[in-house]
A and B are shown apart, each in its own frame.
Chain A
Amino acid sequence: MNAHANRVLILTATLFAAVALHAAEPSGTEIMQAVYDRPQGKDVQGTLTMTLVDSKGKERVRSLRQVTGTFASGEKKLMVFLGPADVRGTSFMNWSYEEAGRSDDQWIYLPALKRVKRISSEGRGDSFMGSDFTYDDLGDRHPSEDEHRVTGSESIAGEDCWIVESVPRDPKDLYSRTVTWVSKKTMVGVKREYYDHRGALLKTLTISKLESISGVWVILKTEMRNVQKNTSTRIEFSEVKVNSGIPEDEFTERAMTRGL
């Protein structure tokens, strides 16, 4: 065996070892990309019940019908509030796009004013309907917005998980970092911690019910707890249907005004 053959053999062995190691322990970016790319279904619809709990334990409940569809142009979402009485019939529509940096289009319909109004989508860090979730928390965050690294593994409720720390590339981002426990089996983030800009834990998201519906993992019960304000918000998703063939023209001004 000559020197050249030796070098080829060593290089090949190294590559195999790297691939084997790679398969055993993917990088943080690969994990978060896999979470992002996880099949979401062509469309998902259901009833969302949101329970807001204040620091004294007092509860307020909001319920809404939600329809989400993925199309060539991007993702479209329509939410129509069922209760409480003073917001019944209010609807909210969001169109988001794959193009990096492109802002969402958003509209709100207030039945009292009988008018659909385009609104700014820049308040991504604002609270969603007074809850512990921001609009950003409820959306899909593209992995390229953060730098990710795996910090370990842990079992959560019997699920083997990777622990991935994500630090925003934009230092002005809402959080200084997040830590996500990603299930190795479902590639769903089953727990996430959000840290403020002082580095202190701000909020914890936990998922307590996950179900495969029509081959798609759907989060049915989740809770966001603000540990600094001692408030929490529970979200339950019920009457869920996946891939029922909702057409793109269901996401229009007409649907906003007449409800789902």
Chain B
Amino acid sequence: MMKSRVLWTLAAVFLAAANLAGQEGAAVNGYARTKAGALLEDASLFLSETTLDLRLSYRSGDAGFFANPVLYEREGQTEEPVLREAYMDFRGESFDLRLGKQQIIWGKGDGVFITDIVSPKDLSRFLVPDFEEIRGAVTGACLDLYLGSHALELVWLPAFTPWTAPAAGSLWAPALPFPVTPTFESVVSPGFSLDNGEYFARYSFLGESFDLALMGGWFWNDTPGYTVTDKTFVPGVGITALTVRPEYYRTAAAGYAASGAMGPVILKSEGAFYGLRRYQGNPMIYPDGYAEKYSLQYMAGADASAAGFTFGIQFIQDLILDHDPDLVDPELKTTMTFVATRTFLRDTLTAEVFTYMGLDPLNALVKPKVTWDATDALEFFLGAYLFLGDEGDFGRYDSNDGVYLGAKFSF
């Protein structure tokens, strides 16, 4: 029944596309994709998903409109229509203005989000989906000013959009940083008002031998802090009950991103200094359950091509300044990423492996994927995500190893 509804929608879209095709400036593109995945541990089917992703655009002179509605159908769940983007844009001689719901992507890293501070992330399935599906959208205004190879981007978001957390009880629900399972009060989110606006700015330069971007923002942290509002302490036993209130809070960040060519190698780096953010700690030490700390994140990496392969390596560190031993997060967290890609058969077969590796403790997420373009419109893919280690950001999902396969039809 569900699949047939997607097919009917697809048929309707083709009819609409045929109609729109006659309109100058209008375009309908997108893809239909079906995907199924099973856990390696017990071969249970945990993913059966059909997606219809539409890209509708219309342009008349300097003004245009773009919408990206997506319809997800997942086994055992109700249909989930999502409007990933919907904005109007105006193009001037030396400026672009976009108004509406839009993805704003910053940074030079692959699979890391140090200076990608504008659009929130959808981590409902951790880092398993393709990166384009992990990035969310924000609602507001984005103004780009251009002078040759220099650009200044100014972003104003009157409405806050938080991250998408894994559902409680799902495979990807993270371990909570509390000694006992807490009782949650209602989430405190910033309302829609001028006072609650978020502001970002980025200067970027693309030039001979190197590219540079400098950015900053004053915004609401995409993930909430948890304020302890009540606790029960039994001497000799410890905390036996805890009530917490998830709260979004203001913070700020300033950073850079750069890349440049050195012979056959592309060197890249990005880093950011974050304003006060809330780190959960021992509720007996911290009455509110957290401490506010400044932090630094930085990445250095390199990309290169050799023997038909494209390789990439990144070294990432996350440092909490003025760290206390009673905080849940460590003072320094080091992660590395590796990627290798190779195409075969006149670019119709692509093999890729992307790996995240945490160094302390040693744990990893390995994502191999093979894609075969059967025709220009139809591709088949087969992939896996393998969690190695027993603890750490990736090892904690050790029992979630899975494989998936699917087909995608682009139009």
Contact = CB atoms under 8 A, between A and B. Distances in A.
A105 B105 contact: no
Nearest to A229: B346
B325 interface: no
Considering the complex of A and B, which 5 residue pairs feature the smallest CB-CB distances, nearest first?
A: A130-B347, A84-B376, A122-B264, A85-B410, A130-B346
Interface in A196-224: none
Main secondary structure of the interface of B (DSSP, over half): strand
A254 B411 contact: no
B149 A85 contact: no
Interface stretch (B175-183, B184-192, B202-210, B383-391): B202-210
Given A85-B377, A86-B379, 16 more contacts: A52-B346, A61-B376, A86-B376, A86-B377, A95-B208, A103-B263, A113-B132, A117-B108, A119-B303, A119-B305, A120-B304, A120-B310, A127-B347, A248-B148, A249-B146, A254-B96
Contacts of A252: 146, 148-149, 151, 206
B103 interface: yes
A120 B260 CA distance: 10
A54 B206 CA distance: 38
A105 B261 contact: yes
User: Which of A83, A88, A114, A249 has most chain B Cβ within 10 Å?
Assistant: A114
Contacts of B259: 117-118
A127 B376 contact: no
Given A85-B377, A118-B259, A130 B343 contact: yes
Interface in A218-260: 231, 248-249, 252-254, 258
Contacts of A115: 105, 107
Interface in A79-97: 83-86, 88, 95, 97
A86 B410 contact: yes
Contacts of A147: none
Contacts of B144: 254
A144 interface: no
Interface of A: 52, 54, 60-61, 73, 83-86, 88, 95, 97, 103, 105, 107, 112-123, 126-127, 129-131, 231, 248-249, 252-254, 258
Contacts of A95: 208
B264 A120 contact: yes
Given A54-B346, A105-B209, A119 B411 contact: no
B368 to A, nearest CB: 19
B159 to A, nearest CB: 20
B326 interface: no
Contacts of A103: 261, 263-264
Contacts of B265: 120
Interface of B: 29, 31, 91, 96, 103, 105, 107-108, 130-132, 135, 144, 146, 148-149, 151, 204, 206, 208-209, 211, 259-261, 263-266, 268, 303-306, 308, 310, 343, 346-348, 373, 375-377, 379, 408, 410-411
Given A86-B410, A119-B303, A114 B105 contact: yes
Contacts of B260: 118
Contacts of B411: 85
A105 B263 CA distance: 11
5 contacts: A85-B410, A112-B130, A112-B132, A118-B211, A231-B346
B5 to A, nearest CB: 23
A196 to B, nearest CB: 16
A73 B204 contact: no
Contacts of B304: 120, 122
B29 to A, nearest CB: 6
B339 to A, nearest CB: 12
A120 B305 contact: yes
Contact of B29 (A61, A85, A105, A248): A85
B195 to A, nearest CB: 30
Nearest to B305: A123
Given A84-B376, A116-B206, A254 B346 contact: no
Contacts of B105: 113-115
Contacts of B264: 103, 120, 122
A40 B367 CA distance: 46
A60 B376 contact: yes
B127 to A, nearest CB: 15
